[in-house]
């Protein structure tokens, strides 16, 4: 017995079939099937046209049947470091966007704490769920040996991973970013640059600290002691209270933008104007950095490109098998100059 449709009710939209996708994308039924099954024998522009047609029609392939045929789930796993960190969260968004464009879903396993064993545990959980590949976004010192072993079980790409690992990595050139920031301040005429660092178990924080020191040494400038940090605005505020009491401080490079935000507040409270008395450069170019007071000069990382390259590399590994030695894909950062930097004031800065 068929239920009557109430008068005025919308007629249910029939579910799109593969032939409908093929017709809209102007390709064959076999080409649609190849795209759905992740075949590498499809041109990129054709793949994008088929995926666009699938989204337009709301077509959803039968994932269970596809997995039986191909041995793949069309799911990418992400091992993500737990915590409210801008970099890892932005990298995850980049991976999710790139995966969706290629017809893949994403499942996340959080890495709780900083113990190296927990990173391996997160990747192992994803492998047990049957993911087709794994992107690791946990850019801290861990057990790289265990990741090397796991990379032989499933295609694996690490974002900002250890340079000595045998697995593939996608990284932003942190050394270049720190050099851009420090060189910018020296080129403005500042005698030296102070640095509020990030936590040293993070690869990025280490690279930024080393590059800052190297640029000063190359320029023959004094290398002041760096101030340790933890990525937080609270730490930046504490560092700013200290630096505000040092008359010689005219330029500061902070390891990230939230640290710069806290520093700006502390300097303002202590009567040190930015950039008239002290120039400040951050790192990351978070969405709010252009609305700081003053708008922040900062180093920009392209997290969309991080996601695109990570997923592209993972799909490449899935198509031709894991590589023993890995490959390192490096993305160049850029310096965004705003209003928090300027030449030092003639005659130096008077004590606060």
What percent of the chain is modeled with pLDDT above 70?
84
**pTM here?**
0.77
Contact present, 142 and 116 (Cβ < 8 Å):
yes
Residue 65 pLDDT = 47
Give the model confidence (pLDDT) of 192-201 as tens digits.
Answer: 999 999 998 8
Q: What is the mean pLDDT of residues 14-29?
A: 83
Q: What is the pLDDT of residue 1?
A: 43
Could you give the domains of the chain?
Answer: 18-69 (1.10.260.40), 73-172+302-332 (3.40.50.2300), 174-301 (3.40.50.2300)
Look at residue 29 and tell me whether its pLDDT is greater than 80. no
pLDDT higher at 51 or 12 = 51
pLDDT band at 82 (very low <50, low <70, confident <90, very high): confident
Give per-residue pLDDT as tens, 137-183.
988 776 565 677 777 778 999 998 776 667 889 999 999 999 999 99
User: So what's the pLDDT on residue 150?
Assistant: 74
* pLDDT at 7 exceeding the cut of 80: no
> In the structure, what pLDDT confidence band is assigned to residue 116 with cuts at 50, 70 and 90?
low
pLDDT score recorded for residue 43: 84
Written in H, E and C, the secondary structure of the chain is: CCCCCCCCCCCCCCCCCHHHHHHHHCCCHHHHHHHHCCCCCCCHHHHHHHHHHHHHHCCCCCHHHHHHHHCCCCEEEEEEECCCCHHHHHHHHHHHHHHHHCCCEEEEEEECCCCHHHHHHHHHHHHHCCCCEEEEECCECCCHHHHHHHCCCCCEEEECCCCCCCCEEEEECHHHHHHHHHHHHHHCCCCCCEEECCCCCEHHHHHHHHHHHHHHHHHCCCCCCCECCCCCHHHHHHHHHHHCCCCCCCEEEECCHHHHHHHHHHHHHCCCCCCCCCEEEEEECCCCHHHCCCCCEEEECCHHHHHHHHHHHHHHHHHHCCCCCCCEEEECCEEECCCCCCCCCCCCCCCC
What value does the mean pLDDT of the chain take? 85
pLDDT, residue 321, reads 59
Query: Binning pLDDT at 50, 70 and 90, where does residue 325 land?
Result: low
Residue 69 has pLDDT above 50, yes or no: no
> Does residue 75 carry a pLDDT above 80?
yes
Q: How confident is the model at residue 32 (pLDDT cuts 50, 70, 90)?
A: confident
* Least confident range of 1-15, 74-88, 241-255, 303-317: 1-15
pLDDT score at 70: 47
Number of CB atoms found within 10 A of residue 347's CB: 6
Higher local confidence (pLDDT), 225 or 17: 225
């Amino acid at each position: 017995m068929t239920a009557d449709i109430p008068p005025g009710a919308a007629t249910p939209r029939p579910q799109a079939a593969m032939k409908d996708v093929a017709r809209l994308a102007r390709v064959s039924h076999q080409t649609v099937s190849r795209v759905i099954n992740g075949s590498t024998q499809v041109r990129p522009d054709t793949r994008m046209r088929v995926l666009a047609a699938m989204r337009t029609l709301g077509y959803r392939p039968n994932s269970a049947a596809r997995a039986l045929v191909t041995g793949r789930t069309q799911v990418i796993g992400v091992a993500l470091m737990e915590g409210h960190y801008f970099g890892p969260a932005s990298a995850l968004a980049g991976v999710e966007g790139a995966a969706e464009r290629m017809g893949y879903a994403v499942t996340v396993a959080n890495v709780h704490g900083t113990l190296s064993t927990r990173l391996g545990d997160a990747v192992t959980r994803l492998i047990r769920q049957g993911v087709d590949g794994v992107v690791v976004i946990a850019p801290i010192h861990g057990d790289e040996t265990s990741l090397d072993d796991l990379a032989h079980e499933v295609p694996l790409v690490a974002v900002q991973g250890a340079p000595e690992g045998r697995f593939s990595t996608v990284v932003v050139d942190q050394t270049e970013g720190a050099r851009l920031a420090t060189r910018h301040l020296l080129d403005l005429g500042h005698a030296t640059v102070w640095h509020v660092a990030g936590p040293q178990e993070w690869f990025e924080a280490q690279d930024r600290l080393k590059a800052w020191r190297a640029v000063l040494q190359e320029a023959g400038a004094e290398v002041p002691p760096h101030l340790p940090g933890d990525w937080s605005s609270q730490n930046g505020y504490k560092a700013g209270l200290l630096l505000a009491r040092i008359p010689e401080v005219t330029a500061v490079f902070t390891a990230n933008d939230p640290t710069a935000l806290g520093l700006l507040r502390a300097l303002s409270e202590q009567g040190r104007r930015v950039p008239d008395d002290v120039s400040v450069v951050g790192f990351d170019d978070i969405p709010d950095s252009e609305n700081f007071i003053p708008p922040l000069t900062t180093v920009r990382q392209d997290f969309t490109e991080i996601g695109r390259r990570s997923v592209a590399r993972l799909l490449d590994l899935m198509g031709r098998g894991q590589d023993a030695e890995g490959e390192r894909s490096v993305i160049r950062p850029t310096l965004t100059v705003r209003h928090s930097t300027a030449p030092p004031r003639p005659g130096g800065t008077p004590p606060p």
